[in-house]
């Protein structure tokens, strides 16, 4: 009896600025303009297929997750590659961060799971990665769980999304319409979030008033961020743009996000880090990411910040900005 094994992984993603671009009826053309960064930590998926009746068993390893996401992935993949249906599948999922907290974990999970299935079936590496991004984008749009996270992950590092849509599509999976640029310094960052889950992304991106306020604020920041070369010298510009976006979009005052931001600011003040650290909202969770203001930071202070955030009732985790794809 034939047994297939495959592994996939994808980093999480922090959205700092975004717009809602869903005017087209084609999910491939839907997405987001904006900016943010991928993380070293995210989702690992290990797929196992045995010849037999098609189906999927999902196991979460030391974490909680949504089985329906992975069922949607395998069903969508089976429509593209009918040979997927020749196997009874199991997939084991390990997540380094929680879902529904603005860390792009549904996008990371969809990319990692698709890659695991494709590698188990022996698909070529480059093709399997492109198909993983394309399929994950479609799943995200169908579930209204994300807009531009998948396109952002296709660039990696600190990214800006300058054309909305899936990063790969078409018969040869060789073009967008979505496009993102990225650079990386593998900078350390500190994530903090409420212990309860945040609102589902669909509450915002399917609401006409939120779409308008978010897109107006996002377009205002991307007018300058989309111009010129995208490189590490623009880090401070991105931080300033993220702060303006969170306030002008109205998201800062929603869901008690300002309380989380204030907790982070107080912790930073206690370690005399106001000139070293900046707390930014993660869209669209109830969470913040504390980033160094420049790249000569040596991680001094993160351990103390971690303790202060935990004492204030938040969960926290240190990670790094991810690699380029």
Query: Torsion angle, CA of 250/180/260/317, rounded to 10 degrees?
Result: 170
Neighbouring residues of 95: CB distance < 8 A, sequence distance ≥ 6: 42, 43, 60, 63, 65, 105, 109
Domains 3-182 and 188-320 share a fold: no
Instruction: Report domain extents, the chain.
Output: 3-182, 188-320
pLDDT number for residue 2: 84
Going from the first residue of the chain to its last (325 residues), give the mean pLDDT of each consecutive group of 10, the final group possibly shorter: 92 98 96 98 98 97 94 97 97 96 97 98 93 98 95 98 97 93 95 83 88 97 98 97 97 90 96 94 94 80 92 96 95
Local structure of 219: helix, strand or coil: helix
DSSP string, 248-285: HTS-TTSTTHHHHHHHHHHHHHHTT-TTTEEEEEPBTS
First-residue to last-residue Cα distance in the chain:
36
Query: Is domain 188-320 classified as CATH 3.30.420?
Result: no
Whether the CB-CB separation of 320 and 188 falls below 8 Å is answered with: yes
pLDDT number for residue 104: 96
pLDDT number for residue 301: 79
Whether the CB-CB separation of 135 and 77 falls below 8 Å is answered with: yes
- What CA–CA distance (Å, rounded) separates 287 from 278? 14
Q: What is the pTM of this model?
A: 0.96
pLDDT number for residue 228: 97
Question: Which CATH topology does 3-182 take?
Answer: Ribosomal Protein S5; domain 2 (3.30.230)
């Amino acid at each position: 009896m034939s047994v297939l094994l495959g592994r996939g992984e994808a980093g999480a993603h922090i959205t700092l600025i975004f717009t809602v671009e869903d005017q087209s009826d084609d999910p491939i053309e839907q997405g987001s303009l904006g900016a943010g960064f991928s993380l070293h930590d995210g989702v690992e998926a290990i797929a196992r297929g045995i010849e037999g009746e098609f189906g999927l068993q999902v196991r979460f390893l030391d974490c909680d997750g949504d089985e329906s996401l992975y069922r949607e992935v395998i069903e969508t993949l089976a429509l593209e590659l009918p040979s997927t249906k020749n196997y009874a599948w199991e997939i084991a999922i390990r997540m380094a961060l929680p879902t529904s907290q603005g860390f792009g974990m549904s996008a990371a999970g969809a990319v990692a799971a698709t890659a695991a299935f494709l590698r188990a079936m022996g698909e070529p590496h480059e093709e399997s990665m492109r198909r993983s991004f394309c399929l994950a984008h479609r799943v995200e749009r169908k579930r209204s769980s994300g807009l531009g996270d998948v396109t952002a992950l296709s660039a990696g590092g600190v990214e800006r999304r300058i054309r909305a849509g899936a990063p790969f599509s078409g018969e040869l999976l060789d073009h967008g319409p979505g496009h993102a640029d990225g650079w990386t310094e593998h900078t350390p960052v500190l994530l903090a979030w409420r212990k309860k889950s945040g609102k589902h992304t669909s509450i915002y991106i399917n609401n006409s008033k939120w779409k308008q306020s978010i897109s107006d604020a996002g377009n205002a920041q991307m007018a300058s961020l989309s111009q010129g070369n995208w490189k590490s010298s623009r880090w401070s510009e991105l931080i300033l743009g993220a702060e303006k976006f969170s306030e002008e979009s109205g998201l800062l005052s929603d869901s008690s996000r300002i309380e989380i931001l204030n907790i982070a600011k107080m912790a930073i003040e206690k370690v005399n880090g106001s000139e070293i650290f900046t707390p930014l909202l993660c869209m669209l969770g109830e969470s913040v990411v504390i980033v160094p203001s420049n790249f000569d930071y040596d991680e001094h202070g993160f351990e103390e910040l971690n303790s202060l955030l935990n004492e204030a009732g938040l969960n926290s985790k240190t990670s790094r900005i991810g690699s380029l794809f």
